[in-house]
Amino acid sequence: MHSRPLLIGFVGISGSGKTTIANAVTAALKAIKHDVLVLNEESYCKPLSQPKKGENERCPYDVSSAIDKVNLLHDLKQLKEGKSITCKRSMHSTSAEESKAILLTPAKIVIVEGIFLLQDENIRNLFDKIFFVDTKLDIAMSRRLKRDEKIEHTNSQYLDRYETLVRPDALVVQELKKYADVILKNNMEAESKASISEAYDSILGMEIQNSVHAHGLFVSHKVMDMFPSTGGRLLRSRL
């Protein structure tokens, strides 16, 4: 009997550091030969033909209305059932013709990273566990400013877009953290390292338990508790 894929979500406002944490956890799991697929919510950003006022020509992945939640829900269900999907990646394109499509096959662990995964009840209920990367708005904003300056924005462009488009959705996303299974603090480097370790421990334990159950075996909670802590110590030694 084969185990079904574990669906794990990393959610947080833009600039929260969720991508950094998700990538670090993914790398650590792959380092010990675990089968991991990563899916980004940005892949379901609707292509823009005529950007609205305040939006640039790139896909506004940090605005809720830009995400195609219908197709995202469909593909998550497919992956959960162990089926492959064709993921249309907008790659910040401005038209459907420029979008790229790639074939993704399910893995034992499917990590999904995005801002709005908690908004839709049908989507969030598909996940085996959702981690919310909790960061103060001013810290996230500062991170966004530094990142966007390197790409294309001036300070005035950034602040205008943030206040009119990004901040309102960010406030909604923070209110939805009550639906997450685990809150990961990420306001400073020490918290980031602890959050990476905590998420890694949790996912590793779930994957072991999932594999054991697939073979019709049983492991006590006391034994299960030993595996994540060991994995966490190994990961912390690398951070």
Q: What ranges do the domains of the chain cover?
A: 6-236
Q: Would you place residue 211 in the very low, low, confident or very high pLDDT band (cuts 50, 70, 90)?
A: confident
pLDDT of residue 214: 56
Q: Which of 159, 100, 114, 99 has its CA nearest to residue 13?
A: 114
Its pTM stands at 0.81
Region 6-236: CATH code = 3.40.50.300
- What is residue 54's predicted lDDT score, i.e. its pLDDT? 45
| Single-letter amino acid code for the residue at 106 | P
User: Which among 105, 116, 35, 103 is positioned nearest to 72, based on CA atoms?
Assistant: 116
CA distance 197 to 21: 9
Going by pLDDT thresholds of 50, 70 and 90, the confidence category of residue 209 is confident
